[in-house]
Structure 1
């Protein structure tokens, strides 16, 4: 990506932060070693990551240890971050830094007084290297608490090029092309268009968010996320009607709607790339790992196209993880500044399975062309990109198994005949979660 004044300012800020962190470090400084400005300081970071994600993150943390002499320990929260943090907060023993999977949790913990505002270099890097939207995402009442560390691109549809070639179709650019020419031609060729991941309710909220963002636009998307307009609004009903173009057609889905609601993620990816029961599957960039497990090669027989435009513009929905400080001790703000920096995130980008929202991380930091393209789309989108809506609302409505959006959209996948009734259920659930 070409240089620009904003990037130059960000690079200067990051360089200054790096210089500060490196001050007084000797070549032998390391975890628990002498000579670092934070020698003897012990910090605890908690996040949901396990396996290769945890290994990569710990490699990034090692860079901070080497520069400062601090010792950084990691604990996995498991998938339910709130269940992990609740007892820790009650006992007065929270981690120094927590990495939250939902902006809604940032607001919840800030209102409890459990978070420490960003300060010093951490606040400076956020101001210089992140767009207004990302800054606001981690802020509560104008106070910055969090930094989006790891993004997930949720606006792509994976497909099998061989299936498209057999049917004689190209990747569509509009919703009408997707549901019309592409899907119809695939069906006529005896190829089921979609594998659906409906047993994992969060995948259905991702479908909804992409269609809603493109069809209703960013302003109404923000209003709906804040519940400033009701879920019975015409824009919600229209999105449900649009989803029914696929969800309401059994011939579109592997196993029909019943099969779709019984198939979880990542089995749906295996259905496309392992069993080859369908031509396409919708989910984010992270589905690449599951395609590889199914025997596909990303960029060759596992490729993706942007989620088609439903309205005037195609959507760009991003999920991700936000780092917040829960401790006020020495080293907390320094570690937040390091994790937010282009230096740390460039290291992370080179390890794979990662996307950055930091505008100073060059796209060539990523190990493959596909990820480079995804990273560039996030940077190019500027403030038109939107964060996963279901992760912005109260978790009881947007992110809980068997409740709220997950269960209501699963019911709508089973029977898409009454969008108005589904919208009414969504509004009732949202209102209950707000009360």
Structure 2
């Protein structure tokens, strides 16, 4: 890179660390760094072009927020908030337990399958871990299951909230990278199933190697009894299938499907008797708070991205990487390490909006599909959810179990390694990500 752009990049990076170190909200910190790039850099580095800050900021923030696609974000969050306040977690454990009794590991698989189902209504990793954990950990402990495995499987499976659509992180990436949300949702299905199979496969193998740590199965049930136990869970599964099916079949956009999801969640909540004024208000305010936080981060990141684009830093970095002769796999390996390090300090949404303007030119120049890269980045962000010191799933499990951070982290390690395997698989076989959206959207 040219000297001026290198200096500009270092100054912006230093400013970001200063603001974050002072405890400034990350959305405001990004906007302030953008202001440094627009106002301060041209004064310090004569080679940098001068720009009117009010016009750059106004244009960038308006373009980032005024998006019809982004309207799906608060709606999907509200859908998850509504169902979070129902008896979904209790119904899920009772409804899934009879179907996994014959599998090696038995009820331990409820963590994986339950997180996979709740991920499809939540879109949040921490909410998925907390909701399923509140019900499954006490139930598994009472039945004599191995607590370290229960904690580890819940931490790993809880990250599915980011990968299985509708995913908040996918929406944020799609808006930031200008990639189709529908394609991202469809692309996340097979990797999500693959990750669930990896987790359940590990639980099964571990259980067969440690039969003394798995309690005996409950008395067998008839098929009709199993259906009756799953009676409260089936409507939620049908709602998920309806919402996602309307997107996959092209009947509705992601935003329209989110509206269907909110209406269906309200109906299920009313039918189950958990919908009242308090729960309605709490779910709505919860969705507003989270949506406002995400929009503030997106607005700040958009201004910073615009400032960096004017300075030429992303293009110069992409040209520099291209001139080094790095292989595509080496670039992906380096990005994996970078995102894991970032994940130790900031949350997944901030990671994406902070890096996308710099990383996407590099990815495009190496020929990677941007939909594939979206799923890759979600997988790596998932891994960051269970890495200290800012692994949100670790914090949730620490609160649920009362265990120390390092103990929870030790129990989670095998599932972290399985996620590393998943990243390697989708990198070597990218068709796992790209085949389904190409097939469904070209018919």
TM range (shorter): under 0.3
- Higher fraction of strand: 1
**TM-score, with normalisation over the residues of structure 1?**
0.26
Larger relative contact order, structure 1 or 2 (CA cutoff 8 Å, min sep 6): 2
**TM-score, with normalisation over the residues of structure 2?**
0.25
- Higher fraction of helix: 2
